[in-house]
Amino acid sequence: MERNFDYIVIGAGSAGCVMANRLSENDKHTVLSIEAGGKDRNFFIHMPSGYSQLVPTRSNLNYGYETQPEPTTNNRKLYWPRGKVWGGSSSINAMVYIRGHAYDYDQWRQLGNTGWSYDDVLPYFKKAENFQGDGDDEFHGFGGPLNVKKSSRTDDLLLDVFLKAGEEAGFPLTDDFNGKEQEGFSRYEHTMKDTTFGPRRWSAARAYLHPALKRQNLSTETNVQVNRIIFEGKKAIGVEYLKNGQTFVCKSNKEIIISAGAINSPQILMNSGVGDSDELTKHGIDVVHELKGVGKNLQDHYGVLNSFYATQPVTLHRSAGLLNTGLSGLKYLMLGTGDAAYPPTSAGAFFKSSPDKDIPDTQLHFTSIQTKDLHGREGVDKDHGFTAVIYICRPQSRGHIALKSANPREEPLMYPNYLSEEQDMIDTRNALRETRRVFLQKAFDPYRGDQTKPGSEVDVDDDDQLDEWIRSTGETLYHPVGTCKMGDDDMAVVDANLQVHGLQGLRVVDASIMPTLIGGNTNAPTIMIAEKAADSIRQS
């Protein structure tokens, strides 16, 4: 069974939804969107606090991957949730809207990627954005598909305490992490929208895909498994995929765009015979095109926790536990208010882990709740508490993605190689101590109980003890990038137009093309990348 389209977009995640929308704006072009997951109908996707229901458990909405054991993280298998649904991870994430530092994009340009400096990409951030509220129009967009609003929450007392403590510790306050000055402590901006039914998550699917579904030239397929890209010589001409046990082939008249994310995009390329020949031949895959960098250059943010008990019942533990969680969800469903109407993290900070850093190298997320682990898989502590999730922004460690077999239905092998570079451990250690110093400020005195993470068994002033705790407890902060990196060196997979080197009719458009990890959450940059790629395709 075979069909023809001008453009085939593999993946309906953060980038894929943008591509499906922008490419179908021209009614002369036919577009097919292919998604491994289903439609975004689950109630918890749209409820802002639903993150806590979607992230901890592998499900039909969440790949729930596990990494391979590695010595740098004490041979643990680390849990990697990734969205498997329309909107991808933008449908299950904590909705924090962060673009990164101008330095990040200027560095991309300095690495040889013409057109990717901060001044080059800012117009695409603005094009995507509809900022809800007062914002500086030099940096914010008004009228784009992606709704963004700053947290104005008034029922979480510790948010302002956290900002005051940061100031007492000698750090600046900033009005806008995405404006003139990233460095400092502030409320977050979120991909959310106020509606008549209350606040809603505004995922890439809600912002881009749903408005485009009415177009006759856009077709969608869900719950499909892509087997491979079909090539005619060095030209990508089609996609073979499996649905309901049946194999389909769709042909492309113009281009195929892989937007399957930092894990699945390199997997699809390798299953299609594009990658390191040593990797492909050991699985019996015929080499269509040699590209050593496919699956390499994996980067991610590795997070650790610093948490304390609270001496007063002023935290979000008021909505924890089976009964209280249910009541909170019911209040949201009926009135659109209460704790369920807000994301779990409403404030954060960017600061320097040590004075010798030129720009902020640490991000922390503050939440007035205490989970037993970073992902919340073990539930919430029964007692009131508050937590910071801490990570260094630009780790030097590099990992890779590999195939487990030639079977496209088998999950790939993930080797993040966290903390393999000594500087990453040094910076993480310093960042945790700086965060703890914030929590020990006068502003927290009326609320701060005993420190729980690290616990009393860890001497935080002892480098060896703290390093061991970091190795044994850290987890992903959900920002894998870089496995199909953009550039012109021997390990680059795509060029500055995101076309796959040495092949025709094939691009990769998602977080996998980032040559280096940006300083912040990766959802907003991924949407920007897709907006810019869509422009490039229209101009080609």
Q: Give the C-alpha separation, 19 to 88, whole Å.
A: 13
Looking at the fold, whether 99 and 183 belong to one and the same domain comes out as no
Looking at the fold, whether 280 and 306 belong to one and the same domain comes out as no
Looking at the fold, whether 317 and 457 belong to one and the same domain comes out as yes
Kindly state whether residue 504 falls inside one of the protein's structural domains: yes
Q: What separation in angstroms does the CA of 277 have from each of 285, 289, 404?
A: 9, 8, 15
Q: Give the C-alpha separation, 251 to 238, whole Å.
A: 4
Kindly state whether residue 253 falls inside one of the protein's structural domains: yes
Kindly state whether residue 68 falls inside one of the protein's structural domains: no
Kindly state whether residue 174 falls inside one of the protein's structural domains: yes
In this structure, the dihedral spanned by the alpha carbons of residues 215, 217, 218 and 223, taken in order and rounded to 10 degrees, is 130
pTM exceeds cut of 0.85 = yes
Looking at the fold, whether 352 and 464 belong to one and the same domain comes out as yes
- From 473, 497, 512, give the residue that closes a domain: 473
Tens of pLDDT, residues 415-473: 999 999 999 999 999 999 999 999 999 999 999 999 999 999 999 999 999 999 999 99
Kindly state whether residue 22 falls inside one of the protein's structural domains: yes
We report the CATH number of the domain holding residue 507 as 3.50.50.60
Looking at the fold, whether 157 and 219 belong to one and the same domain comes out as no
- What is the CA 60 to chain-centroid distance, rounded? 19
**Biggest CA pair distance of the chain:** 70
Tens of pLDDT, residues 215-231: 999 999 999 999 999 99
Q: What separation in angstroms does the CA of 219 have from each of 113, 212, 435?
A: 33, 10, 48
Active site residue 289: no
- From 473, 489, 516, give the residue that closes a domain: 473
Looking at the fold, whether 105 and 221 belong to one and the same domain comes out as yes
Looking at the fold, whether 448 and 513 belong to one and the same domain comes out as no
Kindly state whether residue 52 falls inside one of the protein's structural domains: no
So what's the pLDDT on residue 1? Answer: 63
Return the HEC string of 168-218. HCCCCECCCCCCCCCCEEEECEECEEEECCEEEECCHHHHHHHHHCCCCCE
DSSP 448: E
Q: At what angle do helices 118-128 and 102-110 cross, to 10 degrees?
A: 130
Q: Give the C-alpha separation, 147 to 192, whole Å.
A: 6
Contacts with 376 (C-beta within 8 Å, 6 or more apart), sequence order: 52, 55, 56
Q: Give the C-alpha separation, 169 to 435, whole Å.
A: 9
- From 473, 488, 508, give the residue that closes a domain: 473
Looking at the fold, whether 265 and 214 belong to one and the same domain comes out as yes
Which of 289, 384, 479, 501 is flagged as catalytic?
A: 479
| Dihedrals phi, psi of 192, to nearest 5 degrees | -140, 160
Kindly state whether residue 397 falls inside one of the protein's structural domains: no
In which residue ranges of the chain is pLDDT below 70?
1
Kindly state whether residue 135 falls inside one of the protein's structural domains: yes
So what's the pLDDT on residue 120? Answer: 98
Contacts with 432 (C-beta within 8 Å, 6 or more apart), sequence order: 304, 306, 390, 460, 466, 470
So what's the pLDDT on residue 392? Answer: 98
Looking at the fold, whether 203 and 326 belong to one and the same domain comes out as no
Looking at the fold, whether 167 and 133 belong to one and the same domain comes out as no
We report the CATH number of the domain holding residue 442 as 3.30.410.40
Report residue 490 as tokens: 């021997």
Q: Which amino acid is at 122?
A: L
So what's the pLDDT on residue 257? Answer: 98
Domain count, the chain: 2
Could you tell me which of 79, 101, 181 has the C-alpha nearest to residue 394?
A: 101
So what's the pLDDT on residue 323? Answer: 85
Range of the domain at 500: 1-45+76-148+190-297+480-540
Looking at the fold, whether 245 and 375 belong to one and the same domain comes out as no
Looking at the fold, whether 164 and 275 belong to one and the same domain comes out as no
